[in-house]
Structures are given as structure tokens and as C-alpha cells.
Amino acid sequence: MAPTAEQNILRVTAMIPRGHVTTYGRVAELAGYFGAARQVGWVLRRQDPADTTIPWHRVVNAAGAISMGIGRTGSDWIQRELLLEEGIPVDQAGRLPLRTYLWTPDPLQVLQVLAGG
């Protein structure tokens, strides 16, 4: 069974260590779907915000900010709280020092996870 795009995206997301963040575009790229950043957002969107098994809150946009919006019905603010809890400074606008907390994974490890799970 070839893993679906959704499964790969979730696997990569699950690899992000506590106290670090990455971007939608990076997750897409690592999962083997360069340019499909929007799909990452789409996948994470249908996850339960209360589900802690997937660190969905560690994914932000390339501008280094939480994508806020009426459509998120508050999950954007939950995301901010979770990041603050991990020691990442997020301002009221949802912006954070991306360069400082950016997750730089080992490509080999990523491949291994995607292959084996």
C-alpha cells in the first residue's frame, strides 16, 4: 500500500520536535509534494485540534506567523497558546522568530520514517 499524501504529511508533521516549528511549504517538500503547501494546511485543518498525537501547532506559514482567520474558529489562538507553552515567543499578531526555532530535520531520517512509518 503506497502511503497517501495525507499520511506522509502527518508523518512528517509528527517528527517535529517540541520547541521547534516548520512551515507548510517545508512539510510539503519533505513529504514529497513540493509546491503543495496548501494541501498541508488542508490536511491539518481536518485534524482534531484536541488531538495531541499530532503536533499540528508546530506548523506555521513561511512568513513566520500563525495563519489566523475566521475560518479556524479559534484553533489559531489555541495554536498560539501551545507554542507559548513550548517556550516559543508568539506576539499578538501570531508572529514568531522563525529563523530561531526552525526545525532542520535529517533528510535520511525523514526518508526512513516515510518508508517504514
Give the binding site for DNA (CB under 7 A). Answer: 5, 23-26, 33, 35-42, 44-45, 47, 49, 56-57, 59, 61-63, 67, 69, 71-72, 75-76, 79
Give least dist CB 3 to DNA, A: 14
Nearer to DNA, 26 or 112 (CB): 26
| CB distance 57 to 23 below 8 Å | no
Instruction: State how far the Cα of 98 lies from the Cα of 66, in Å rounded to an integer.
Output: 11
Nearer to DNA, 91 or 109 (CB): 91
DSSP annotation of 58 reads G
Instruction: State how far the Cα of 106 lies from the Cα of 10, in Å rounded to an integer.
Output: 17
